[in-house]
Amino acid sequence: MASEKHLSMNAADHEISYQAVISKIRPIIEESITDTFKKIVPSCMKVADLGCSSGPNTFYTISIVVNTVHGIRKREQLKLPEFEVLLNDTPENDFNSVFKLVPDFIEMLKKEKGEMVQESCFIGGVAACGFFLSKTISNQKPPVCTLFLWDSLALKGPCWIGEQQEEHRHDKIKSSQWRMVLTCNARETPEPSKEDYGLEQFAAKSLLDLVAQGVVKEEDVDSFNLPLYSPCKEEIAEIIKREGPFEINTLQVFEVDKDPLLRQLLCNKDCIEIGNFFANSARAVLEPIICSHFGEAIIDKLFMRLAAYTADALNLGMTYKHANIVVSLTKK
């Protein structure tokens, strides 16, 4: 089974863009923040990214939050709150790359929003999921502070809710004013077999091919658990209802806009290059987990096989559909 410490993504580069997802749910993020300011005008706003990864996209969502709050402040003539940006991920995440991008992000805030925003924004990184979440929430002193939690494309997805609150669910949530937005891969129907695209199946076939070639031991494959699951919205709603302290503001399934490169490849019906595109995207998510179990030596061969299976499926008429769920929550 994949250890939690390996549940992190590679850096988001030009081939693996999360901006398509974030742009799609931007109105929900903005609505969540705006609604919070109708109930409280905080002097401090903590923004916690629960899976920041590394690369330029790390600060994309943070920019949306800061811009939204800055817009509310100007319209309502309010004092700008202090921003405490808390970037969280597993210890294996490349925080050095993240911190190298901070000066450019702060300089961008200064140019776009002025020195007032620049001087009010503090950024920190924490490489510990459970401890970070507990301390971040329990240290709030409402109504002075407001906490906005964000998680995008997390491997554990909405299961975070149940996992983190299992033993001390009411003790860990002390703030009376906080919001959370989660998004993850999804399926549109309750029945998994009706979905068109199955990364898990292609990865499994690719691993079995390597077993047949003698590259991977069969017992290693038998003991490997790939923590991928695409829930439907009914499952998300059931988890939230079972946990108790959470109220659903928004729960939507949406189709993710195709990357411009992928859109062009689909127009050209270039199945081989589309297969490579999917393999590269999957590699960003799966490589740390696979390396931790099988080692680095199989990576190139594995994802070459995955690209080939994807291309074959497209040639046989498989349609590409990438659905996501977004849920906006408030503590009751």
On whether the CB atoms of residues 273 and 9 are closer than 8 A, the answer is no
Domain map (residue ranges) of the chain: 4-190+227-257+321-331, 192-226+260-315
pLDDT at 16: 43
b/e map of 123-139 (b: 16 or more CB within 10 Å)? bebbbebeebbbebbee
Q: Give the contacts of 284 (CB within 8 A, at least 6 positions apart).
A: 9, 10, 12, 13, 15, 16
CA distances, 165 to each of 84, 231, 243, 245, 278 (Å): 23, 19, 8, 10, 34
| R_g of the chain computed on alpha carbons | 21
Grade residue 237 by pLDDT with cuts at 50, 70 and 90: very high
Query: Which tokens sit at 136?
Result: 């971040």
The answer to whether the bond into 245 is cis (omega within 30° of 0) is no
Kindly report which listed range (11-15, 55-59, 288-292) carries the lowest average pLDDT score: 11-15
pLDDT at 106: 87
pLDDT of 169 above 50:
no
Q: Give the contacts of 292 (CB within 8 A, at least 6 positions apart).
A: 2, 3, 6
pLDDT at 318: 66
pLDDT of 181 above 70:
yes
The CATH architecture to which 4-190+227-257+321-331 belongs is 3-Layer(aba) Sandwich (3.40)
Yes or no: is domain 192-226+260-315 CATH 3.30.565.10?
Answer: no
Question: Averaging pLDDT over each range in 5-14, 132-141, 255-264, which range is the top one?
Answer: 255-264
Grade residue 172 by pLDDT with cuts at 50, 70 and 90: very low
pLDDT of 161 above 90:
no
